[in-house]
């Protein structure tokens, strides 16, 4: 059994904030893989389903970001899960917008949701870090993450969230590099190579020059 935790703040006022990209990611997984409806449990919203033949729980803490660890600890204890069973989806300002990285352990880097979880269960869980960019000024950090994504952001955001839902099975299989590659490819598709005849023509023209 695995536990996917999406980080964010509850309520419609926060729904489209950069800080809520973790909620967005797990909501897409729930939708894509036809999970059961969410229900209130462990100071959060919990649902379950199957991905790649394995049972998966999805938890969205409703304690607000700063107390996310309470919900995670309660679910972990109830289901007797180990740290390696837990994957947390979070916003990450230290990554440029649209980048994705997976990390196990490490410091919280000032992220209050990660800080809270680490204080309750330790730091050995896996994190899917979803880049939202940095405002460039420490004084603007709170305002940055608690603002809605801009219209320009939607160009990469929708593609990223859809790719996360589509390729969640790779996380279950432990294929982290493959998962990151698939999501990155969705945002930056490879350009098709020109036909062989066109390649030869281009080469001949260069030789003639």
Helix (H, G, I), strand (E, B) or coil at 8: coil
* Residues in the chain, total: 209
Alpha helices by DSSP H, the chain: 21-32, 68-79, 112-121, 141-145, 154-166, 168-172, 176-187, 196-208
Q: Is 144 a catalytic residue?
A: no
Tokens of 182: 């698939």
Alpha-carbon Rg for the chain, nearest whole angstrom, is 20
Distance CA 82, CA 46 (A): 18
Q: Decide: 126 and 106 in contact? Cβ < 8 Å.
A: no
Beta bridge partners of 58: 4, 47
Q: Which residue is listed with tokens 């940095």?
A: 134
Q: Give catalytic residue positions.
A: 19
């Amino acid at each position: 059994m695995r536990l996917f935790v999406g980080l964010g703040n509850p309520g419609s006022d926060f729904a489209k904030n950069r800080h809520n990209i973790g909620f967005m990611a797990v909501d897409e997984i729930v939708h894509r893989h036809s999970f059961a409806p969410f229900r209130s449990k462990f100071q959060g919203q919990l649902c379950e389903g199957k991905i790649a033949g394995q049972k998966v729980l999805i938890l969205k803490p409703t304690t607000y970001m700063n107390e996310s660890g309470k919900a995670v600890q309660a679910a972990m204890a109830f289901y007797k899960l180990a740290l390696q069973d837990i994957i947390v989806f979070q916003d990450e300002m230290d990554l440029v917008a649209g980048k994705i990285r997976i990390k196990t352990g490490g410091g919280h880097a000032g992220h209050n949701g990660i800080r809270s979880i680490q204080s309750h269960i330790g730091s050995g869980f896996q994190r899917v870090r979803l880049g939202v960019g940095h405002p460039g000024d420490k004084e603007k950090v709170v305002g940055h993450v608690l603002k809605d994504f801009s219209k320009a952001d939607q160009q990469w955001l929708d593609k990223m969230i859809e790719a996360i839902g589509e390729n969640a099975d790779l996380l279950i299989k432990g294929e982290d590099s493959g998962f990151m590659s698939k999501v990155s490819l969705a945002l930056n598709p490879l350009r098709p190579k020109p036909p062989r005849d066109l390649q030869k023509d281009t080469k001949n023209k260069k030789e003639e020059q």
